Chain A
Amino acid sequence: MLLEVKNVRKQYRRFDLDCSLQVQEGRIVGLIGKNGAGKSTTFKAILNLVIPDSGEIRIFGTDSRELDSELRQRIGVVLADSTFSNIMTVKQIADVMGRLYAKFDAEDFFRKCDRFQIPLRQKTKEFSTGMLARLKLLIATSYQADLLILDEPAAGLDVLAREEIMDLLREYMMEEHRSILISSHISSDLEKLCDEIYMIDQGRIILHEETDRILSDYGILKLDEAQFSGIEKQYLLRKQKEAYGVRCLTDARQFYLENYPGVLMEKGNIDDVISMMIQGERL
């Protein structure tokens, strides 16, 4: 296990986090939730930027508070609100990186900057949002880290720029033994990237599932009242009243497709699943 977050709690005045999650070797794991759901607090706890009230965080099997510099060099990080000083140029940043990280590969870094149209001799305060986001990710991936921890690495970007970021991550994963923990509030990005998804709401993990299972087994049933009262309910996870009757979330799409061929079934996507998990009633 590259990363293990066990019952990590952090209490604020209006918010309380209680989170457990795991990242296995070779996996891309997504953390998804609304703004304010607890994604950033979780990331900051993992990185020791927030001290949890209780619980345990282990990275590469070591307590996160006891990581030495060698282990830290195996982690690549993008945080939403952190960057290098904006009066530095990319060249200067590369100098710093070379001193900080033993495995920093300047040549590869400059090549990627060129490919992603990042100017080397311009101060980063003149960069666009998209350029800054790409630069932050290029920095995080420039020293052969085994674990990437990426909090909203594509925030504020348009769809094409986000695709570019996601492709860069897919490339990074071509080396085995690497893992990524990534958060986003844009579910379609994670749907196409992640192997597993954790959904977080009000500081709690409300669902952990393989992306493949969500896409192939989850579904939304649209039923009128009569259909709803006649249907078997053991595989329905949530229900929600609608003008036409009842909307239900299932994790056994095939069961209902086979046994109730007449009912309206939509393929589940992460947005539907998360909104039903949060807003729907249990059965």
Chain B
Amino acid sequence: MRFMIHNTSMQPIYEQLMDQIKTGIVEGTLRENDALPSVRALAKELRISALTVKKAYDALEAEGFVVTVHGKGSYIAGTDRGLVQEARRREVEELLESAIQKGKACGMTEEELREMWELMLE
């Protein structure tokens, strides 16, 4: 698995890493029990702080995508891809919800919001 970091992006680097690992799981390039690079090795390769890599691995572990065996390393957990898809769906839902709230807060009607939505989908 190859990782790519966008250094000027507003998205925090650990989130970029998390997204790429999740994408790997969804696409099947990362499978259960696959070993992730060690924290220092990935930090070295990407020229980022080891704490950033650790933060990404820890967050993935908290979400159930990665298992870290102390002293051995981090591995892809046995999650089914449906779960990852589901998590992504929830993220999209949250984003849409916050967009709707923001629209309502600045006085847009539901009709206007729907129109905007349709327009953007086109």
Cα of A227 to Cα of B43 in the assembled complex, Å: 39
CB distance B44 to A171 under 8 Å?
yes
Cα of A265 to Cα of B9 in the assembled complex, Å: 12
Contact flag A195-B102 (CB < 8 Å), given A170-B43, A267-B10: no
Query: By the criterion of a CB under 8 Å from any partner CB, how many residues of chain B are at the interface?
Result: 19
Of A171, A176, A194, the contact of B49 (CB 8 Å cutoff): A194
B76-89 vs A, Cβ < 8 Å mask (1 yes, 0 no): 00000000000000
Query: By the criterion of a CB under 8 Å from any partner CB, how many residues of chain A are at the interface?
Result: 27
Q: Tell me the nearest residue of chain A to B47, going by C-beta.
A: A192
A211 within 8 Å of B (CB atoms): yes
CB distance A261 to B49 under 8 Å?
no
Cα of A257 to Cα of B11 in the assembled complex, Å: 11
B40 within 8 Å of A (CB atoms): yes
A215 within 8 Å of B (CB atoms): yes
Cα of A227 to Cα of B24 in the assembled complex, Å: 42
Interface of B is mostly: helix
B31 within 8 Å of A (CB atoms): no
Task: Determine how close the nearest CB of chain A comes to the CB of B113; give it in whole angstroms.
Answer: 16
CB distance A261 to B12 under 8 Å?
no
A53 within 8 Å of B (CB atoms): no
Cα of A188 to Cα of B46 in the assembled complex, Å: 14
Q: Tell me the nearest residue of chain B to A219, going by C-beta.
A: B10
Task: Determine how close the nearest CB of chain B comes to the CB of A5; give it in whole angstroms.
Answer: 21
B65 within 8 Å of A (CB atoms): no
Listed in ascending order, the chain A residues whose CB lies under 8 Å from chain B are 26-28, 166-167, 170-171, 173-174, 176, 192-196, 210-212, 215-217, 253, 257-258, 261, 265, 267
Listed in ascending order, the chain B residues whose CB lies under 8 Å from chain A are 8, 10, 12-15, 40-41, 43-44, 47-52, 55, 98, 102
A195-B51, A210-B51, A212-B48 are known contacts; what are 5 more A-B pairs with Cβ within 8 Å?
A: A27-B50, A192-B47, A192-B48, A194-B49, A212-B55
